[in-house]
Amino acid sequence: MPMNVELVSVERQVWSGQAKALFGRTPEGELGILPGHINLLGALTPGWPVRIEREDAPDLKIAVDGAFLSVRKDGVSVLAEQAEFAADVDVEQARADLHAAESDSGEHAAAARAWAMARLRAAGESV
Partner 1 sequence: MGAQLRVYRRRIRSVQSTKKITKAMELIAASRIVKAQARMREAKPYATALTRALAELARDNTLKHPMLTGRTQPRRSGILLITSDRGLAGGYNANAIKRANELANQLQGAGREVVRYVIGRKGVAYYRFRGVSLAGEWTGFSEQPAFGNARGATQTVVAALSATSDGLTADDTPGIDELYLVYTRFVNSVSQTPAVVLVSPVKGDAVAGAETAHFERPDTAAGADGDAEDGPGGAYEFEPEAELLLGSILPRYISARIFSGLLESAASESAARRRAMKSASDNATDLIRTYTRLANQARQAEITQEISEIVGGADALAAAANEE
User: Per CB under 8 A, does 18 bind partner 1?
Assistant: no
User: Per CB under 8 A, does 100 bind partner 1?
Assistant: no
Q: With beta carbons less than 8 A apart as the criterion, state whether 53 and 63 touch.
A: no
C-beta pairs of 82-87 under 8 Å, 24+ apart in sequence: 82/9, 82/10, 82/115, 83/7, 83/9, 83/14, 84/119, 84/122, 85/14, 85/15, 85/60, 85/61, 85/122, 86/49, 86/60, 86/61, 86/62, 86/122, 86/123, 86/124
User: Contacting partner 1 (CB under 8 A), which of 1, 11, 103, 126?
Assistant: 11
Q: Which one, of 64, 79, 57, lies nearest residue 5 by Cα?
A: 79
User: Per CB under 8 A, does 77 bind partner 1?
Assistant: yes
User: Per CB under 8 A, does 85 bind partner 1?
Assistant: no
User: Least CB distance from residue 125 to partner 1, whole Å?
Assistant: 24
User: Per CB under 8 A, does 34 bind partner 1?
Assistant: no
Stretch near partner 1 under the rule CB under 8 A, chosen from 48-56, 72-80, 92-100, 115-123: 72-80
Q: Residues in contact with partner 1, total (CB under 8 A)?
A: 26
Residues that bind partner 1 (CB under 8 A): 6, 8-13, 26-28, 31, 38-43, 66, 68, 70, 72, 77, 79, 81-82, 107
